[in-house]
Amino acid sequence: MRKLEERIMKDGLVLPGNILKVDRFINHMIDPVLFEDLANEFYEKFKDKKINKILTIEVSGIAIAYACGIRFNCPVVFAKKTSSKTLGDNCYRTEVFSFTKNRSYEVMVSKEYLDEKDHVLLIDDFLANGKALEGLIDICSQANATVEGIGILIEKVFQKGGENLRRQGYTIESLARIKGFTDDSVIFED
């Protein structure tokens, strides 16, 4: 999507270690006008699917998932990384390995909010190794919910997460596809 690529070129920052900093409009400050456009784009790509729930993972997936919830007119569930007094024990749980933090963390979704009647669109900000998405897919599988598709803002296609998931049959739409970095810039796939 041209608009997101242009914004990444303008406001993104490439850090050592193939890290793309998009704090200025996605991960710390959010541009709601851009996010409405991004949600509209996901809607165009998935409007023929029977989607009744959006599922994402806290923290940085929440705002774009919510924007999609408005567009698809359905509830948004965000998987939690920390337990709480209100969450209780009645949860689907899975382990997600974070390469950025070099450790695993647990992800939880209450069984009250996901079940076999759900047709789910998974939404997240980044796709690189795909571990977070695999966690969400595992949770959908535990719930016998159907994954109708996966919407990603920025995919690092030189890492293998997207390729692996597509090979398993999942439909993934990434609005910006990065094939590599130079020292200070981003190379998008044609």
**Which residues contribute to the site for a second copy (CB under 8 A)?**
15, 17, 19, 21, 23-24, 27-33, 35-36, 58-59, 62-63, 66-67, 69-70, 73-78, 80, 84-87, 100, 109-110, 112-113
Q: In the beta sheet, which residues pair with residue 188?
A: 178
131 is in an annotated binding site: yes
The answer to whether 93 touches 72, Cβ cutoff 8 Å, is no
For residues 66 and 188, which CB has a smaller minimum distance to a second copy in the complex? 66
Give Cβ neighbours of residue 34 (< 8 Å, ≥ 6 apart). 3, 4, 7, 25
Our CB check for a second copy shows the closer of 172 and 176 to be 176
Q: Is 81 helix (H, G, I), strand (E, B) or coil?
A: coil
Instruction: Kindly state the smallest distance separating residue 150's Cβ from a second copy, in Å.
Output: 19
* Residues tagged in the binding site annotation: 20, 27, 128-132, 156
* Residues tagged in the binding site annotation for 5-phospho-alpha-D-ribose 1-diphosphate: 128-132
